[in-house]
Structure 1
Amino acid sequence: MIDAFREALSRAQHEETIAEFPAGTHSAADAAEAIGCPVAHIAKSIAFRSEEDVVLVIASGTNRIDRKKVSALIGKPVKPAAPDWVHEKTGFAVGGVAPIGHACPVITVVDRDLLSLTPLWAAAGSPMHVFRTTAEQLVTMTSATIGDIRQA
């Protein structure tokens, strides 16, 4: 799915900033260690389920997501999504879910805490690929709703 992501990145007129880390970037901590940046600068993508809709939450690597806040922000309940369902719906495996390039429409929410961090690093379609971006580019590319979705 790295190719689908690369095409989506090009369509979004975002520069090619994809980097590969063969040891993997499955978690925010793994990605931060591989890149050499603070964990907060990892824009982790977590897919949730709202009936048959994919709700993609992009949050700072240091933040835990409050599903009640996400539900309130989008106006419908969200629940955890099984990895097989995420892969089937988005085309991406958990650990490599990119912010764009999905096989289906997604509802995207961006963690307000990301807005003050630069650069950001996000999954690029596989658990071994990331790309460098900014919060502004991320919000623009995804047409995201911005919100306070961090657990207190």
Structure 2
Amino acid sequence: MSDGLSPRSRLVHDSLRSAGVMGEIVVLPDAAATAPLAAAALGVEVGAIANSLVFRCDDEALLVMTSGAHRVDTAALAERLGRGPIRRATPEQVREATGQAIGGVAPTGHPAPIVTIVDEALAAFDEIWAAGGTPHTVFPLTFDELVRLTGGTVAKVD
């Protein structure tokens, strides 16, 4: 279903293929900018949605791929990582770091690599879904593929 993708989703598609991830980007009829909306559109548990949350930490972007069933405890995560305070990025900072808008941030296809944390809770699902570069696009992958794709560090985030 990768034909007719937006330029942002095409970048994500190409990045997926370069990493050997074969899940196809699905274009949803309605925006699925939140985990509950994406889960409802796909008919999956909200926990199987890999939310892409962009933060700022130690003067750089930090991407946290968290289960849709979790909220990130930024203070606890900063302590676990031995890093400075973690603060939510502004919409402008998100676009600068990822090239994508909030609600559609994919785990890949960014202008440059981003330090990434992957929620260990996502490992409980055989298949997870992540945004495909726009609020209307998603794609399936496994937990191991997500970790490999992002070069992420697996951690408890809640």
Q: Same fold (TM over 0.5)?
A: yes
Residue 58 (1) aligns with residue 103 (2) = no
SS at match of 1:73: helix
| Contact 1:96–1:126, Cα closer than 8 Å, also in 2 | yes
Residue 137 (1) aligns with residue 145 (2) = yes
CA distance in structure 1 between the partners assigned to 2:59 and 2:111 by the alignment: 14
| Residue 68 (structure 1) shift | 1.5
SS at match of 2:55: strand
Task: State the TM-score, normalized to the length of structure 1.
Answer: 0.94
Residue 67 (1) aligns with residue 92 (2) = no
Q: 1:4 to 1:73 in 2, by over 3 A?
A: farther
CA distance in structure 2 between the partners assigned to 1:38 and 1:83 by the alignment: 27
Q: Given the alignment, which residue of 117, 121, 142 partners 1:109? A: 117
Q: Residue in 2 aligned with 1:118?
A: 126
| Contact 2:58–2:83, Cα closer than 8 Å, also in 1 | no
- RMSD (Å), alpha carbons: 1.1
- Residue correspondences, number: 150
| Contact 1:60–1:111, Cα closer than 8 Å, also in 2 | yes
CA distance in structure 1 between the partners assigned to 2:40 and 2:28 by the alignment: 10
SS at match of 2:130: strand
SS at match of 1:132: strand
| Contact 2:64–2:118, Cα closer than 8 Å, also in 1 | yes
Deviation track 1:101-124 (CA, whole Å, cap 9, x = no partner) reads 111221100111111112100011
| Residue 51 (structure 1) shift | 4.1
Which one-letter code corresponds to 2:89 in the other structure?
A
CA distance in structure 2 between the partners assigned to 1:146 and 1:69 by the alignment: 14
Q: Given the alignment, which residue of 79, 83, 106 partners 1:98? A: 106
Q: Structure 2 stretches of 5 or more lacking a match?
A: 1-7
CA distance in structure 2 between the partners assigned to 1:44 and 1:127 by the alignment: 12
CA distance in structure 2 between the partners assigned to 1:41 and 1:115 by the alignment: 9
| Contact 1:69–1:148, Cα closer than 8 Å, also in 2 | no
Q: Structure 1 stretches of 5 or more lacking a match?
A: none
| Residue 22 (structure 1) shift | 2.4
